[in-house]
Amino acid sequence: MKSTFALGGTLAAVLLFGSVGCSTAPEKASSREQLDNNADTALKNMKAGDPTLAPVLKHSAGWAIFPSVGKGGFIAGAAYGRGQVYDASGSFVGYSDLKQGTIGAQAGAEAYDELIVFKDEAAFNKFKSGQFALSANYSAVLLKANAADAANWNDGVMVIVKPEGGAMLEASIGGQKFSFVPDAGVRENNTQPATHTERTTTTIERDGDVNATTDVKHDTTDHSGIKVHGEIEPTNRD
Domain boundary assignment for the chain: 2-189, 192-238
User: How close are the terminal C-alpha atoms of the chain, in Å?
Assistant: 91
Residue 78 has pLDDT above 80, yes or no: no
Mean pLDDT for 167-171 is: 58
Please state, in angstroms and rounded to a whole number, the distance separating the CA atoms of residues 80 and 118.
Answer: 21
Alpha carbons 31 and 11: distance in angstroms, whole number:
29
Distance CA 123, CA 120 (A): 6
Residue that wins the pLDDT comparison between 19 and 65: 65
pLDDT of 234 strictly over 50:
no
> Helix, strand or coil for residue 112?
strand
What number is the average pLDDT over the span 123-147?
A: 91
| Confidence check: pLDDT of 88 > 70 | yes
| 2 SS3 class | helix
Cβ density class 138-177: b for 16+ within 10 Å, e for less: bebbbbeeebbeebeeeebbbbbbbbeeeebeebbbebbe
Confidence of residue 16 (pLDDT cuts 50, 70, 90): very low
Q: 125 pLDDT band (50/70/90 cuts)?
A: very high
Residue 217 confidence class, pLDDT cut points 50, 70, 90 = very low
Q: Which residue has the higher pLDDT, 218 or 111?
A: 111
- The better pLDDT of the pair 199, 123 is held by 123
Q: pLDDT category, 65, cuts 50, 70, 90? A: very high
Q: Which amino acid type is present at position 210? A: V
Residue 122 pLDDT > 60: yes
More confident residue, 175 or 77: 175
Is-contact 113 46, C-beta < 8 A? Answer: yes
Q: How confident is the model at residue 232 (pLDDT cuts 50, 70, 90)?
A: very low
Please report the pLDDT score of residue 24 as a whole number.
87
Least Cα distance to 55 among 148, 160, 187 occurs for: 148
Would you give the DSSP letter of residue 172? B
Question: Quick one: pLDDT at residue 168?
Answer: 61
CB 23, CB 87: distance < 8 Å: no
Is a pLDDT exceeding 70 seen at residue 134? Answer: yes
Least confident of 59-68, 110-119, 163-172, 185-194: 185-194
Q: Is residue 219's pLDDT more than 50?
A: no
